[in-house]
Structure 1
């Protein structure tokens, strides 16, 4: 039996690069996607030296272009929509270009990648689509409105998609990482709006949250190697492992103490809200 094929977007750094190398370590076949091989030369070298392949794919490309590139890959057993980023600032600051680029990268791009892979997965009656979300989808913080919105949209789309493709033997998995020690908050990877922050926000929760994110860089509790190992385990169903125990039992993987804590708090508020709403909700039917 041939080894499974992984297609991983955002393979240039962070969780995407580590997952690519972990799958290759297991002697699986990996195609990593990066925006630019030149700008990601170090990652390309690591993946190719380990036996993988790298293609160029920008998630802001047209739908036709993305679908064409994905189909050219051929067989895909594990599709990992990992590529994404956050632009940090008040929503009021975001330009049209910044807004469209954020949504295109984090939502439209993954949708088009999935569309490119589904025909082959349906034909084989198998496949797993893994969409990297964030705790920000379930517990949005100030300064991440667009990022949180795109990740929440990605989750809702995934949950609907799951019911559509289940008859074909295709599965889905949402991954909710907390804060991991990658370059997500690093000056080299962190994007801010071109428009300056209005002075009114400086001493509010927006200014304080931006400062907190700056201070958090390099101090995140999440170990990306451990996070990737849990992902690899649940994706492959590795027997006798922490992640493998969840394979087929859950449609969501939560990674990090902070993510678990924040999700529990958010869920408790959600339950409180709909409980208080019960009388109102039941009052509007014919």
Structure 2
């Protein structure tokens, strides 16, 4: 049976590639976009207005069911923590975290009624490790990690699944806004020559040179849901890392946690009540 996908942030990058992959495999796709005029002609356009619960009802009604919810829409607001501005930080969290929460809450009643469904929440390599001049964005992805980890356990009794997708740097338009000077905090001169401003320059230089292929990344996500390809027969774990850079950071992070636990074992084991 063809699956029905709802994919946010489907104008470009992972969202678009995943939508096209699902369609090529015979699935059906509701692609949520900010700019309908940029949607490829191969995708039917439809404007949907109304509050979130009403929107969810229309999404389920479009094809009679919803099998996969993909929360991919996000952007990065960059700059050192001291350089960040409240209004921009709030806007970053609203798109990357609160919009995800609103959509998850809106579709869960329908998924529970079906007794099946997968929620795919996009985190990032930045959900594993925070970087200079990218701390705000990474904070949103740390939040997505925490939300999805709890969510996966909460919805399992209803036959539902949740997965955290952790892409590294893929060759999408993600860094384009930074290269153009948008979504970046005003610079403070005091950070010149420090890792914060070195990171600013690196983001621009790295744009277009990222190692990850979004078509391959999208294919792995589809395979996770479909139990096909490289994911066929593999246990569906909480996290789906994508990209050699994410794989390296994941291994490093695991090693650092193990080292910390061992290094401070005498400390953390000394703080309980002696009963």
Tell me whether the two structures share a fold, i.e. TM-score over 0.5. yes
SS at match of 1:131: strand
CA displacement at 1:188 relative to structure 2? 7.4
Q: Secondary structure at the match of 2:187?
A: coil
Number of the residue aligned with 2:8: 9
Cα deviation, residue 141, structure 1:
0.9
Offset at residue 56 of structure 1 (A): 5.4
Shift of 1:110: 0.5
Name the structure 1 match of 2:183. Answer: 192
> Could you tell me how far apart the structure 1 residues matched to 2:48 and 2:248 are?
37
Instruction: Name 2:231's counterpart in structure 1.
Output: 243
Secondary structure of 2:171's aligned partner: coil
Partner of 1:206: 196
Which one of the candidate residues 239, 242, 256 is aligned to 1:269?
256
CA contact (8 A) 1:47 1:54 kept: no
Residues 225 and 135 of structure 1: CA distance in aligned 2, closer, same or farther (over 3 Å):
same
Corresponding residue number in structure 1 for 2:32:
33
Evaluate the alpha carbon distance shift between residue 265 and residue 55 of structure 1 in structure 2; reply closer, same or farther with a 3 A threshold.
farther
Q: In the alignment, which residue of structure 1 is the partner of 2:43?
A: 47
Alpha-carbon distance in structure 2 between the residues aligned to 1:67 and 1:201:
45
Per the TM alignment, residue 252 of structure 1 is displaced from its structure 2 partner at its CA by: 1.1
SS across alignment from 1:149 = helix
Per-residue displacement from partner, 1:173-220 (whole Å, max 9, x unpaired)? Answer: 111000100001114786434x52110112100111111111111111
1:277, CA displacement in angstroms? Answer: 2.0
**How big is the shift at 1:271?**
1.4
Equivalent residue number for residue 131 of structure 2: 141
Q: Cα distance, 1:46 vs. partner?
A: 3.7
Three-state SS of the structure 1 residue aligned to 2:230 is: coil
Superposed counterparts of 1:92-171, under 5 Å: 92-171=82-161
| In structure 2, C-alpha distance between the alignment counterparts of 1:56 and 1:44, rounded to whole Å | 18
Paired with 2:103 and 2:149, the residues of 1 have a C-alpha distance of 16
Q: Which moved more, 1:88-97 or 1:140-149?
A: 88-97
Q: What stretches of structure 1 of length at least 5 have no aligned partner? A: 58-63
Q: TM-score, normalization: structure 2?
A: 0.92
TM-score, normalised by the number of residues in structure 1: 0.88
What residue is the counterpart of 2:272 in the other structure? 285
Corresponding residue number in structure 1 for 2:52: 66
**Could you list the per-position Cα deviations for residues 134-164 of structure 1 after superposition, in whole angstroms to 9, with x for gaps in the alignment?**
0101011111111111111111111111111
> Aligned residues, how many?
268
Unaligned runs of 5+ in 2: none
Contact 1:32 1:54 in 2 (8 A): no
**Is residue 75 of structure 2 the alignment partner of residue 85 of structure 1?**
yes
Change (3 A) 1:94 1:18: same
1:235, distance to aligned residue in structure 2 (A)? 1.2
Q: Kindly tell me: are residues 81 and 139 of structure 1, through their superposed partners in 2, closer, same or farther at Cα, counting changes over 3 Å?
A: same
Give the structure 1 partner of residue 220 of structure 2: 230
2: CA distance, partners of 1:7 / 1:189: 30
Output the CA distance in 2 between the equivalents of 1:187 and 1:86: 9
- 1:32-58 Cα offsets, whole Å, 9 max, x none, are 101232xxx13253422xxxx55558x
Could you report, residue by residue, the CA deviation over 1:92-137 in whole angstroms, capped at 9, with x for unpaired residues? 2222210111001111111111011100010011000000110101
